[in-house]
Structure 1
Amino acid sequence: MIEFRRHSGMFTLETEQFVPITIDKAWEFFSSPENLCLMTPPHMKFRITSGKPERMYVGQIISYTLSLFPGTKTNWVTEITVADIGNYFVDEQRFGPYKMWHHEHRFKTIKDGVLMTDKVSYKLPFGFLGHFAHALFVKGQLQAIFSYRQKTLEKLFPPAVRNKSDQH
């Protein structure tokens, strides 16, 4: 599920995904900035430029380069502004392609795994031209990135295969 809403001159993307792992394993995986590279489509050439990142912590600044369009390179700097271990964290853009970017990552233990919820509130630059760009390509690009992430996580954390004896 990936949903978009427009409100107050900005946009919100929300997505949920079940991952069949423990909350501890989910937190360990998602709180490692290096794993962002695994979850970003290869054609975007995502690379962390601020050195080998430590485990996530509040106040951490992470810089990246990525290609939003073929043949381009964009710098992006985010800060981890909130972290509640095992529950949620927030990264916010400090410099980059968006006028504003606020990304909440939430984790909830449910039967047989973890429900991950992402809520990204963002605003594009250039006023009405930004809204036009959103309709033309930004929305589709974000949808493709989050779909890629969902498929990657399904491969990395496949559902456990149950024995026939477990099914009775």
Structure 2
Amino acid sequence: MKIYTLHKKQNLPISVEQAWDFLSDPGNLKVITPDYMGFNILSGADRPMYAGQIIQYIVTPVLGIKTKWVTEITHVIDKHYFVDEQRFGPYSLWHHKHFIKEIEGGVEMEDIIDYKIPLGILGQLVQPILVKPKLEEIFEYRQKKLIELFGTL
């Protein structure tokens, strides 16, 4: 079983409170996701984030194929970090840790995603040519969008 990791960091000139308010609101995921992904929240984003929260989405990650994605917020430490885990969706495993820490002049946001591709050896073959580049592209879009919204350090 091959587990892959995507690790991203970004610094923004905002307070921990501003970063937390934005990132912990599931409704803002649509704002920082490329339009072509067809991201749409179906349910679960009507309350402030809490451990045990189930959020259902529709996404169109590849080839126009709509996919239902269900995540659970499994851990929340207010203004420090939260974890979302896929319960149903395109991955065999999706464990996404979001960290926020104060730095001089703003905050450092860190994402660590551990994921596993389904389909065994076939999944491992498409990982470097399809999955990894797509995830990199999505997180580059997020970084650019967050700079548009909040500026840069």
TM-score, normalization by structure 1: 0.88
Q: Distance in 2 between matches of 1:122 and 1:51?
A: 23
Q: Distance in 1 between matches of 2:142 and 2:98?
A: 13
Q: Which of these residues, 49, 59, 62, is aligned with residue 52 of structure 2?
A: 59
Q: Structure 2: state its 5+ residue gaps.
A: none
The answer for the alignment partner of 2:63 in structure 1 is 70
Which of the pair has the greater relative contact order for Cα pairs under 8 Å at 6+ separation?
2
Q: Distance in 2 between matches of 1:72 and 1:127?
A: 21
Distance 1:84 1:11, change over 3 A: same
Moved over 2 A (4+): none
Q: Distance in 2 between matches of 1:100 and 1:71?
A: 22
The answer for the alignment partner of 2:73 in structure 1 is 80
Q: Structure 1: state its 5+ residue gaps.
A: 1-7, 161-168
* Structure of larger gyration radius: 1
Q: Which of these residues, 8, 11, 20, is aligned with residue 15 of structure 1?
A: 8
The answer for the alignment partner of 2:137 in structure 1 is 144
Amino acid aligned to 1:75? K
Calculate percent identity across the aligned residue pairs: 48
Aligned residue for 2:33, secondary structure, equals coil
Aligned residue for 1:114, secondary structure, equals strand
Aligned residue for 2:43, secondary structure, equals coil
Q: Which of these residues, 114, 128, 150, is aligned with residue 157 of structure 1?
A: 150
CA drift at 1:9 = 1.0
Structural mapping, 1:86-165, within 5 Å: 86-159=79-152
Amino acid aligned to 2:125? F
Aligned residue for 1:109, secondary structure, equals strand
CA drift at 1:52 = 4.7
Amino acid aligned to 2:14? I
Amino acid aligned to 1:30? L
Distance 1:146 1:23, change over 3 A: same
Amino acid aligned to 1:31? S
TM-score, normalization by structure 2: 0.96
Amino acid aligned to 1:46? F
- Are the counterparts in 1 of residues 25 and 45 from structure 2 also a CA contact under 8 Å? no
Matched pairs, number: 153
- Are the counterparts in 2 of residues 58 and 82 from structure 1 also a CA contact under 8 Å? yes
CA drift at 1:53 = 2.4
